[in-house]
């Protein structure tokens, strides 16, 4: 069998890096390495133009950021619009957390009332209350069917933005708020898109979701997409404890 | 005498007394009750003595303790040792400070002391010093800390910035934290701005090694350039566009010597018990204050050389053949500082990590992913505990550490027994609500078994 290799583009790693979101890349790298898959990580930095071919990537990742930082990078993100659209058409897997999720929609109106235009790749949009204390904060559990069966995704949400007009949500909220305060659904997804408010980081406590992303990325290459099981005893014990604690309330 | 003030003080003091009779610590409660009745209750207090306050994300308790020890050595009004009122135990919200002042004030709310040395939570600086006249404010650093409770770091800085716009007292600022140094511009008319820092040390790096906060110029938004990073985003920075950051410090800690635990200020040599880089920054802040108040350098030398905070801040626990250095870490920078000490230590060691997600900790534990475990020299085993014992175990595993060498033991007494199962060197890290229970569990273990060899 030939060596399996994936390329991940981490956009704005030093700007969109709130709440340990870069941990998602660390989890993907770890789970790839356990299967002998090399994960090469490339970066796109703000105001540092590069010629990276986004469509040559297998996964594009955007984390979450503070309002101030999201404003700063809006222009740079806009300059990447064509490349991101093309990558999406070429079935590159898009993983976006919080700020990344918001910025790929139509627009984001932040807690200062400032309207930041989004890329408009997806039709949802987000508005935050100008009361900075009005935020959805806490542990959250979302049930998704993206991975081919019902799977409970555990994370932490902390967002002022309320996202509406979401055509295909990532999952159903079992505990927490989701896209809007006391909402029923959370995030946005397609076969090769996950956009969500979940920090934690997202992939740390949801190994099957991480593996779904890896195998979809391999599948696009036409490579063998089967992933051998690895030692997930800690993750399983952690999930069992948190699901009991949060869902029995 | 204002009758309303009298009644407020009377009622407050009665609460403190009752709590004491019940054998309880006054803590936050009396202040909280008064605050509920009147949001401006702090104005009942008056005091003529200088107030020195310390704020910032990390190091408040240690710095305040050092300052308290320095000021105690001065002579007071009556020619005897100075009377200091201080909140050394870390009750640093307005309600905690109010409760403490109630215990010391007379029935008119007047506080008689030579100095008030206070540690103050970052977000409570404006509300507390709206009513109490501040003479010196020390700002240590701003790191991401309990984001779910405190909000974004920027919001916090803007709050203090707004307060400082009309402040004319002494302002002692960390010159190497771009988020702190910017506060020197809050009030351009204030001539009493003093910067401190630490000269480049051997552990400094060219690239950011640990998650940092101040990436952009607070004046013009340009990305800041760094000559070097001491730790996290603390280092010698400047803005290539507008020149922000060209600061001449009032004091600088120099000639750091790790072998002899020594360093110098203005040619004079000093020693300390621990040589963590963040600790040296705290000492530099303390030295700046000592200089402002003309405290004899021989006194400073004695306090620096002898004083230890303990209380879970680099505290040692020993059994017959094992020893643990336990350190509080409320945020990634705190944990990274302990890991730096662990990595400086060349031998083999074991690590105990206790992680809770109680409300006072912030219920979001994702900050542990901002801890840099990429260097983990000679760690032969890890024991994790606390309400989020599994989360920290997964974090360490995904950094590439062998999961079979991680033991998860949510119960603290069992975790203490587990970590002392073998002899040798241990390091302990515990977050905010975990630190006191961890200390208690370690002490219980040592009482029972500490005399025996593992």
Please give the full DSSP string across B106-148, using - where no structure is assigned.
-TTSEE--SEEEEE--GGGHHHHTTTS--SEEEE-------HH
pLDDT at B163: 96
List chain B residues with CB under 8 Å of A97.
none
Q: Do B216 and A72 touch (CB under 8 A)?
A: yes
Q: Do A156 and B148 touch (CB under 8 A)?
A: yes
pLDDT at B151: 65
pLDDT at B362: 85
pLDDT at B26: 64
Q: Which residue has the tokens 């999720």?
A: A101
Min Cα–Cα distance to chain B from A90, Å: 30
List chain A residues with CB under 8 Å of B408.
234, 237
pLDDT at B209: 80
Instruction: Mark whether B277 and B357 lie in a shared domain.
Output: no
Q: Over 60: is that where the pLDDT of B1 sits?
A: no
Measure the CA angle with vertex B187, ends B184 and B192; round to 5°.
Answer: 60
Give the end of a domain, one of B257, B281, B306: B306
Instruction: Mark whether B55 and B175 lie in a shared domain.
Output: yes
Q: Does A17 touch chain B (CB under 8 A)?
A: yes
List chain B residues with CB under 8 Å of A68.
152, 154
Instruction: Mark whether B396 and B320 lie in a shared domain.
Output: yes
Answer whether residue B10 is part of any domain. no
pLDDT at B350: 98
B357-385 confidence digits (pLDDT tens): 998 888 999 999 999 999 999 999 999 99
Answer whether residue B27 is part of any domain. no
Instruction: Mark whether B156 and B192 lie in a shared domain.
Output: yes
Phi, psi of A206 (to 5 degrees): -130, 65
Answer whether residue B359 is part of any domain. yes
pLDDT band, very low/low/confident/very high, at A236 (cuts 50, 70, 90): very high
> Poorest-confidence range of A140-154, A161-175, B150-164?
B150-164
SS3 A86: helix
Q: Over 80: is that where the pLDDT of B38 sits?
A: no
Answer whether residue B18 is part of any domain. no
Q: Over 60: is that where the pLDDT of B296 sits?
A: yes
Q: Do B366 and A205 touch (CB under 8 A)?
A: no
B309-319 confidence digits (pLDDT tens): 888 888 999 99
Q: How far from the centroid of its chain's Cα atoms is residue B355's Cα? A: 18
Identified catalytic residue from A98, A125, A136, A189: A98
Answer whether residue B104 is part of any domain. no
Half-sphere exposure in the Cβ direction for A121 (13 Å, CA): 25
Instruction: Mark whether B189 and B135 lie in a shared domain.
Output: yes
Q: Which residue has the tokens 């109630």?
A: B102
A98 is catalytic: yes
Answer whether residue B138 is part of any domain. yes
List chain B residues with CB under 8 Å of A66.
152-154
Q: Considering only CA atoms, which of A27, A35, A93 is closest in space to residue A238?
A: A27
Taking CA atoms, B281 is separated from A162, B230, B306, B429, in Å, by 41, 10, 17, 21
Answer whether residue B87 is part of any domain. no
Q: Do B368 and A26 touch (CB under 8 A)?
A: no
Distance, CA of B283 to CA of B276 (rounded, Å): 11
A10 is catalytic: no
Q: Do A234 and B223 touch (CB under 8 A)?
A: no
Q: Which domains does chain A have, with CATH numbers?
A: 5-247 (3.40.50.880)
Q: Closest partner residue to A238 among B153, B216, B394, by Cβ?
A: B394
Q: What percentage of chain B exceeds 70 in pLDDT?
A: 96
Give the end of a domain, one of B306, B339, B357: B306
pLDDT band, very low/low/confident/very high, at B181 (cuts 50, 70, 90): very high
Q: Do A238 and B397 touch (CB under 8 A)?
A: no
> Poorest-confidence range of A73-82, B209-218, B223-232?
B209-218
Q: What is the CATH number of the domain that holds B239?
A: 3.40.1190.10
List chain B residues with CB under 8 Å of A69.
216
Distance, CA of A102 to CA of A109 (rounded, Å): 10
pLDDT at A239: 98
Q: Over 70: is that where the pLDDT of B434 sits?
A: yes
Instruction: Mark whether B424 and B338 lie in a shared domain.
Output: yes
Q: Region B417-426: what's the mean pLDDT? A: 96
Q: Over 70: is that where the pLDDT of B3 sits?
A: no
Average pLDDT, chain B: 90
Instruction: Mark whether B292 and B409 lie in a shared domain.
Output: no
SS3 A200: coil
Instruction: Mark whether B217 and B160 lie in a shared domain.
Output: yes
Q: What is the CATH number of the domain that holds B373?
A: 3.90.190.20
Instruction: Mark whether B211 and B251 lie in a shared domain.
Output: yes
Q: Which residues form the domain of B57?
A: 47-80+117-306
Instruction: Mark whether B297 and B150 lie in a shared domain.
Output: yes
Q: What percentage of chain A exceeds 70 in pLDDT?
A: 99
pLDDT band, very low/low/confident/very high, at A249 (cuts 50, 70, 90): low
The dihedral sign for the CA sequence B295, B248, B204, B382: positive
Q: What is the DSSP letter of A172?
A: E
Question: When comparing pLDDT for B9 and B434, which is higher?
Answer: B434
In chain B, whose CA is at the least distance from the CA of A23? B369
> Based on the structure, what is the number of domains in chain B?
2
Instruction: Mark whether B297 and B339 lie in a shared domain.
Output: no
Answer whether residue B58 is part of any domain. yes
Q: Considering only CA atoms, which of B282, B286, B402 is closest in space to residue B333?
A: B282
Give the end of a domain, one of B306, B338, B372: B306
Instruction: Mark whether B435 and B322 lie in a shared domain.
Output: yes
């Amino acid at each position: 069998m030939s060596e399996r290799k994936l390329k991940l583009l981490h956009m704005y790693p030093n700007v969109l890096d709130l709440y340990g979101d870069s941990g998602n890349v660390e989890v993907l790298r770890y789970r790839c390495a356990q299967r002998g898959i090399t994960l090469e990580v490339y970066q796109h930095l703000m105001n540092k133009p590069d010629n990276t071919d986004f469509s040559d990537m297998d996964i594009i990742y955007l984390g979450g950021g503070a309002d101030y930082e999201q404003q700063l990078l809006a222009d740079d993100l806009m300059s990447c619009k064509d490349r991101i659209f093309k990558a999406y058409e070429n079935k590159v897997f898009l993983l976006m957390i919080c700020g990344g999720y918001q910025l790929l929609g139509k627009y984001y109106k932040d807690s200062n009332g400032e309207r930041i235009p989004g890329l408009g790749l997806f039709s949802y949009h987000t508005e935050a209350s100008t009361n900075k204390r009005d935020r959805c904060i806490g542990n959250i559990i979302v049930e998704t069917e993206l991975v081919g069966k019902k799977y409970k995704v555990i994370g932490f949400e902390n967002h002022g933005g309320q996202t509406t007009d979401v055509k295909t949500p990532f999952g159903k909220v079992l505990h927490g708020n989701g896209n809007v305060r006391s909402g029923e659904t959370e995030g946005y997804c397609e076969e090769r898109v996950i956009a969500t408010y979940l920090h934690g980081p997202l992939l740390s406590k949801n190994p099957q979701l991480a593996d779904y992303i890896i195998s979809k990325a391999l599948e696009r290459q036409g490579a063998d997409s089967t992933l051998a099981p690895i030692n997930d005893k800690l993750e399983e014990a952690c999930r069992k404890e948190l699901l009991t604690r949060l869902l029995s309330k | 005498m204002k009758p309303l003030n009298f009644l407020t003080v009377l009622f407050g003091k009665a609460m403190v007394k009752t709590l004491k009779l019940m054998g309880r610590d006054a803590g936050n409660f009396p202040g909280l009750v008064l605050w509920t009745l009147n949001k401006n209750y702090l104005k009942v207090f008056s005091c003529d003595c200088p107030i020195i306050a310390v704020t910032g994300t990390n190091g408040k308790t240690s710095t305040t303790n050092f300052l308290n020890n320095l000021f105690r050595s001065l002579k007071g009004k009556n020619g005897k040792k100075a009377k200091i009122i201080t909140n050394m135990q870390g009750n640093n919200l307005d309600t905690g400070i109010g409760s403490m002042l109630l215990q010391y004030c007379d029935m008119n709310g007047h506080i008689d002391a030579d100095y008030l040395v206070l540690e103050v939570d970052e977000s409570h600086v404006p509300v507390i010093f709206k009513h109490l006249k501040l003479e010196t404010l020390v700002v240590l650093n701003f790191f991401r800390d309990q984001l779910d409770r405190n909000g974004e770091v920027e919001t916090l800085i803007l709050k203090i910035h707004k307060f400082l716009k009309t402040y004319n007292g002494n302002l002692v600022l960390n010159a190497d934290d771009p988020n702190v140094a910017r506060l020197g511009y809050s009030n351009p008319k204030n001539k009493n701005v003093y910067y401190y820092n630490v000269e480049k040390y051997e552990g400094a790096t060219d690239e950011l090694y640990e998650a940092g906060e101040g990436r952009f110029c607070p004046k013009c938004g340009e990305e800041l350039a760094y000559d070097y990073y001491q730790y996290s985003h603390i280092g010698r920075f400047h803005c290539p566009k507008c020149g922000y950051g060209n600061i001449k410090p009032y004091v600088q800690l120099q000639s750091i010597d790790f072998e002899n635990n020594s360093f110098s200020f203005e040619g004079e040599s000093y020693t300390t018990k621990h040589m963590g880089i963040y600790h040296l920054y705290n000492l530099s802040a303390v030295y700046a204050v000592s200089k402002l108040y003309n405290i004899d350098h021989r006194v400073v030398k004695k306090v620096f050389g002898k004083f230890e905070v303990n209380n879970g801040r680099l505290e040692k626990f020993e059994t017959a053949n094992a020893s643990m250095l336990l350190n509080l870490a409320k945020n990634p920078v705190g944990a990274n500082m302990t890991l730096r000490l662990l990595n400086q230590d060349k031998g083999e060691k074991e690590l105990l990590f206790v992680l809770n997600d109680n409300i006072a900790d912030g219920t979001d534990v994702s900050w542990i992913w901002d801890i840099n475990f990429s260097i983990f020299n000679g760690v032969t085993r890890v024991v994790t505990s606390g309400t989020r014992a599994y989360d920290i175990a997964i974090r360490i595993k995904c950094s590439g550490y062998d999961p079979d060498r991680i033991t998860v033991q949510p119960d603290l007494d069992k975790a203490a027994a587990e970590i002392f199962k073998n002899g040798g060197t241990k390091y302990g890290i515990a977050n905010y609500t975990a630190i006191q229970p961890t200390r208690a569990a370690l002490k219980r273990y040592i009482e029972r078994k500490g005399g025996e060899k593992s």
